[in-house]
Amino acid sequence: MMNALKKFSHWPVTILMLAIGTALLIFTSTNERYYRNPVAKIEQTTITQHQSLHDEFNNTDQQIQQKIRARILNGRYKNHQIILNNAYTKSQGMSHRYSRGQLLILNPITQQQGRLSSSIVGLKRDRLITMLLWLVMTILVLSMQRAGWLALLGVLINTGFLIIMIKVNNLLNGNQILLIASLAATIFTLVSLTLILGTSKKMLATLIATLGGTLLSVIVGVVVLKVTNNKGVLFETLDYATQQPIPLFIAETILGSLGAVMDEASDIMATLYELKSVDSKITQAQLFKSGIKVGEAIMGPLINVLFLIFIADTITMSLLYLRNGNSWGYTFSMNMGLGMVQSLISGIGILLTIPLTSCCGAYLLGQRRDNQ
């Protein structure tokens, strides 16, 4: 009977999320009128030309010319037909093949001799992205309930702060990027832990351990880079760097290592808190040893996750470099060097966070019995 009531209690939230998903699907399927750029729906595609491509490294591909007939869905020329041209390669590495039924975003339309002309900006993807976000939110809310809502709230608040930080950085021309990144890391951690853990000793210990572990790992990384005079580290390969690359790299490292350190600190503190709840007489030494054992158990998977993320981020460009005759050393220095350094600094943060979290948890939780 109780299980039936619990299942029934989920129905209002399920119905709410389904209603939200339906509304989002309808809106993103009919929101062309809100676009500044013309939006067109492909009605017919025709292949007009094939051309073989070769380069000095014996790479082969085919370039294909595609003629597209589409119907404009918004703006001055709504419901008019337009003919578009698209060139793509068979590999579709830097181009895209379009199919009937897809929606395209176009550049402003011009009219010459009674014919409409424009060029393709790209696919209209808002419906796909919105529905994926809705699916993640639905699974999170239905599986985690209150904690899921709080997690979503934390993401929204942190996103707002991130936008503010970016605007402030632009106003200051990137001159205070380290200060901004440090402040952002502190706010992100404080907001996330307060929403999930509340204002408690558990939150305070996790906060101290997270910020302390992140700070120590960055300090160690900066000291090592200074001692070695940045030898072998090519900061100029930083993607889209329009300001001083070294402070920007350190800022990226602060925010990049924060997630893994917070995850580890939260896991260790949750275990110590449960041990304290089960046995109120547990000593600080026992809590510290238990935290070390938990950290040792989760340290390996966390470092592997960081490494796999690093590999996934660089593997495509690295394969392209190697395929075009570049050496392993050059490929590593141009594509993997900075990512490897960031991964190593994050790994150091994971290692240092274990004793730091265990110490904070043992000290704060071992003082007196927590109020339930």
3-state secondary structure the chain: CHHHHHHHHCHHHHHHHHHHHHHHHHHHHCCHHHCCCCEEEEEEEEEEEEEEEECCCCCEEEEEEEEEEEEECCCCCCCCEEEEEEEEECCCCCCCCCCCCCEEEECCCEEECCEEECCEEEECCHHHHHHHHHHHHHHHHHHHCHHHHHHHHHHHHHHHHHHHHHHHHHHCCCCCHHHHHHHHHHHHHHHHHHHHHCCCHHHHHHHHHHHHHHHHHHHHHHHHHHHCCCCCCCHHHCCCCCCCHHHHHHHHHHHHHHHHHHHHHHHHHHHHHHHHHHCCCCCHHHHHHHHHHHHHHHHHHHHHHHHHHHHHHHHHHHHHHHHCCCCHHHHHHHHHHHHHHHHHHHHHHHHHHHHHHHHHHHHHHCCCCCCC
Across the range 223-243, mean pLDDT stands at 75
Across the range 67-89, mean pLDDT stands at 90
Q: ∠ CA(52), CA(53), CA(54), 5° rounding? A: 125
Please report where in the chains the tokens 């729906």 appear, as a residue.
41
Q: Is the dihedral of CA 361, 367, 368, 371 positive or negative?
A: negative
Residue range 102-142, pLDDT digits in tens: 999 999 998 888 788 899 999 999 999 999 999 998 988 88
For residue 49, list its beta bridge partners: 65
CB 124 within 8 A of CB 72: no
Count Cβ neighbours within 10 Å for each residue of 296-309 and write b for 16 or more, e otherwise: eebbeebbeebbee
Higher pLDDT, 247 or 22: 22
Of 16-30, 244-258, 349-363, the range with the lowest mean pLDDT is 244-258
Across the range 142-169, mean pLDDT stands at 85
Query: So what's the pLDDT on residue 5?
Result: 41
Residue 264 CA to residue 262 CA, distance in Å, equals 5
Q: Assess whether pLDDT exceeds 60 at residue 253.
A: yes
Query: So what's the pLDDT on residue 242?
Result: 65
Across the range 280-284, mean pLDDT stands at 82
Q: Assess whether pLDDT exceeds 60 at residue 355.
A: yes
Q: Assess whether pLDDT exceeds 60 at residue 369.
A: no
Query: So what's the pLDDT on residue 366?
Result: 66
Query: So what's the pLDDT on residue 335?
Result: 78
| 13: its two tokens | 């939230």
Query: So what's the pLDDT on residue 320?
Result: 78
Q: How deeply is 45 buried, as exposed, middle or buried, from its count of CB atoms within 10 A (0-12, 13-18, 19+)? A: middle
Q: Assess whether pLDDT exceeds 60 at residue 367.
A: no
Q: Assess whether pLDDT exceeds 70 at residue 6.
A: no
Q: Assess whether pLDDT exceeds 70 at residue 3.
A: no
Residue range 295-341, pLDDT digits in tens: 988 888 888 888 888 778 788 888 878 877 778 888 877 777 788 88
CB 100 within 8 A of CB 44: yes
